Amino acid sequence: MTRSVALVLGLLVAGLLLPAAPVGAQEPVTVASRTESAPLVDLNGDEIGVDELSRGQTGYGLSVFAGSEPARFGVEVVGVIREMDPGMSYIVARLSGNGLEESGVVAGMSGSPVYFDERLAGAVAYSWAFTSEALALITPIAAMRELSTLEAGEAAGESLGLAAPGALRPFDRSVQQMLEPPDDVAAAVREIVAEQLGSLVAPADWGGRGGAQIATLGFGDPVRRMLAAAPAGRADTAGMPDLSAGSAVAGVLIDGDLKLAVGGTVTRVEDGEVLAMGHPYLGVGPLRVPMATVEVIGVVPRLNSSMRLSNIGSVVGAFDQDRFAGLRGRVGAEARTIPMTIQVEAPDGDSRRFDLRLADLPRMLPSLVGIPTMQALESASYGGGESGLDMTGTLRLRGHEDVPLQQTFDGSGPGTNAAFYLLALVGALVNSDYEDVEIEGVDLTLSQSHGVRTVNIERAQASSRRVHAGDTVDVVFDLRRHRGNRYQETLPVTIPEDRRPGRYYLFVGDGVSIDAARLQLEPSKASSLADELDMLRSFQPKSRLAALGVVPARGLIVEGRPMPQLPASVRSIWQASSLQGEPRALNLAIVNEQGRDLDVPLDGLFRLDLEILPGNAP
C-alpha cells in the first residue's frame, strides 16, 4: 500500500468473534425501508428502565442510513447483562431492518435511541465484530442522563506519550524520538496514531469478559476526507434538519481543507442539550470538541464491521463532557480550535496552501498536527518514492516566544518522517511537566524536490592536531553526494581562548547527529518550561555542518545544569548530599559549539582528538 492512508490503519475497527447466546425464534419486526423517514414521535417522552424489559420484547430504534433524516429499525430484546461494569448493566438486543440483517450493526449507529412502548430505553453503543447477525449492547438512558448533571468543562488530559524504552519523562521520550527516530518510521507513526486515536475506533479489550474484544461503533464511523478508507467531504447543508433524536452527528477533529471527524448518532435533544454515542469518546471527562451535523451517503457492508460513508455538515455546537455512558454537547456552544496552515511547494514550481482548524485536545494534538502534514504533501504533490523535503515553520505559543521549525528529510517517503518529527515535537510541548502549553497556531511550509539530496560525510580531518588556545582550525570534510561525485567542505573551528593545555575533542557532523551527541554528553534535565523551550529551539537541521568542542571534566550535572570544574572536595560533598537531588557525574564538558548551514542535508558524525599546547596562539 503506497498511499499514506496505510499509516492510519490503526483507525480501522477490528474485533474478535464472540458467539451469541442461543435465543428462540421470534416474529420479524416490521420496519421502515432504508429510504423511509421515521414518523414523528415524542422523542423526549417517558423513559423505560432495564428492569421493565423482558426477553423477546420488541421495539424500534432511530438512525440515519442515507441522507439526514432518521429512519426506523427493529429492536428485539435478547436479555440484560447485569453489572457488566461497576453499577452498569446493558441491554442485549437483536437489530433488524434497513439491511442490518446483512450488514450487521453499522459503525456510526452508536447513540441510536431505542424505544419500547414509545418510551426511551437507551442508546445502541457496542457490538461484536465478525458476528453473523446484528447483535448490539444498549447503554441504558438512566446512565446517560447523569451527564446532564455535570458542569461544562474545558479540554483536559495530557498527551499520550510516544513509546520508548526506559523510565524517561514524556518530554524526554519525545526529544529522544526527534533526534533518534526508529528504523521503521512508518510503523512508528502507525503505532502512535493508533495509540492517540485508537480509543476512538479500535477494539476495547474488556478484561473479565471471556477475552472478547468489543468494538465501539460510534466514533468508529470514519467521517473524513483523504484519510479514511472511504472518502468523505463537506455536506451541502441547505435543507439539513436540526439535530434531533436519531440524527447523525460528528465530533470534528480537523476542519477546513482537510476533514477528520468521528461520528455517531444523537440519543436525545432537550432544551439545546445533546446526549449521544452511549460510550466514551476518549474518556477524558471535560473537553471541548466542535459538534457538527452529518449527511450519510450510504452504508458499506463489511465482514468485520460495516461502516457509513458520510459528509460533514455545519458546526452547530460543541461537546463538553466525555464519560463512560456517552457524550454531552450543547447546541450553540463554541469550542476553541487551533489554526494550522500548510504551504506545499512542489518540485514543478506549483504552490498550494491548506488552511485547517484543529480541535483543542492536548491528548490528541500531536497526531492532529502530524496527520495533515502527510496528507497535504500527498494531495499537493506526491508522498511516495524518493524525494527531498525541507520543512520550515513556526509553533505559536500563548505567553511564550514562538518555537521555530526547521528540518530536512530525504529518502523514501520524507513526508512520513516530517510527520513523525512533528508528532515528537508537539508531543514534547504538550507533555511538559511544568506548565500547560497552549499552542495558538501552527504555520508550516514544505518544499519538495525530486530525488535524494543527502550528502554522506565520509571523512573529517583537522588542519592541525596540535593547537593553542585561540587558534582557528580548519576541519575538512570529504563528502559524497547520493549516487554522485565526491567533494570537500571546510568548517573553521576556533579553540576558546580560555582553555588550559590538555586534550580537546571535536565532534563534527550533521546538525541532528551533533544534537544527539550533545544530549548524550550532557544529558541535562530541564527544570522549567523555559529550559524545555530553549532545548527545542536549539535543535539544528541536518543541513547544518556543526562542531562541538569537548574537554575532560571532573564535575557534576545538578538540576540539569553542568558544573564541569568542581574541586574534588566539593564534588564529593555534593554527591554525598541528598539535599540537592541526585547529581550525576560529568566526565566530559561541552565548551564550544560552532557551525554553518549548507543547502543540502548531511549524514555523518566523527570525533577528532586535538591537543592544546601551553601558551597562546602566535
Give the range among 114-123, 226-235, 542-551 with minimum mean pLDDT. Answer: 226-235
Q: Name, in order, each residue with C-beta under 8 angstroms of 524's C-beta and a sequence gap of 6 or more.
A: 531, 535, 557, 560, 561, 562
**pLDDT band at 565, cuts 50/70/90?**
low
For residue 99, the Cα-to-chain-centroid distance in whole angstroms is: 35
Burial of 87 (0-12, 13-18, 19+ CB in 10 A): exposed
The pairing of strands 351-359 and 248-256 is: antiparallel
Express each pLDDT in 518-532 by its tens digit: 888 877 667 889 989
- The chain-wide mean pLDDT, for the chain, equals 78
Cα 14–chain centre separation: 19
Does residue 481 register a pLDDT over 50?
yes
pLDDT score, position 593: 94
Q: Are strands 466-469 and 605-616 parallel, antiparallel or unpaired?
A: parallel
Helix %, strand %, coil % for the chain, to 5? 20, 45, 40
pLDDT in tens, 98-147: 999 999 999 889 999 999 999 999 999 988 888 889 999 999 999 999 99
pLDDT at 160 exceeding the cut of 80: no
Instruction: Quote the pLDDT of residue 267.
Output: 97
- Return the beta strands (E) in 206-333 as ranges: 213-216, 221-224, 248-256, 260-270, 273-276, 285-300, 307-323, 326-331
Contact 253, 99 (CB under 8 A): no
Give pLDDT, residue 411: 87
pTM of this prediction?
0.77
Task: Say whether 245 sits in a helix, a strand or coil.
Answer: coil
Confidence of residue 587 (pLDDT cuts 50, 70, 90): low
Domains of the chain by start residue, with CATH: 338-450 (3.10.20), 455-616 (no CATH)
Amino acid letter, 445: T
Per-residue pLDDT of 324-347, as tens digits, reads 899 999 999 999 999 999 999 999
Across 596-616, average pLDDT: 92
Contact 118, 249 (CB under 8 A): no
Percent of the chain with pLDDT over 90: 50
Question: Where do we find the cell 560525510?
Answer: 457
How does 429-442 read in b/e, with b if 16+ C-beta sit within 10 Å? bbbbeeeebbbeeb
Residue scoring higher pLDDT (16 or 83): 83
pLDDT score for 230 = 31
Band (pLDDT 50/70/90 cuts) for residue 263 is confident
Q: CA dihedral in degrees (153, 369, 352, 410; nearest 10)?
A: 180
- The SS3 call for residue 10 is helix
Closest CA to 428 of 287, 286, 529, 557: 529
Q: How many residues does the chain have?
A: 618
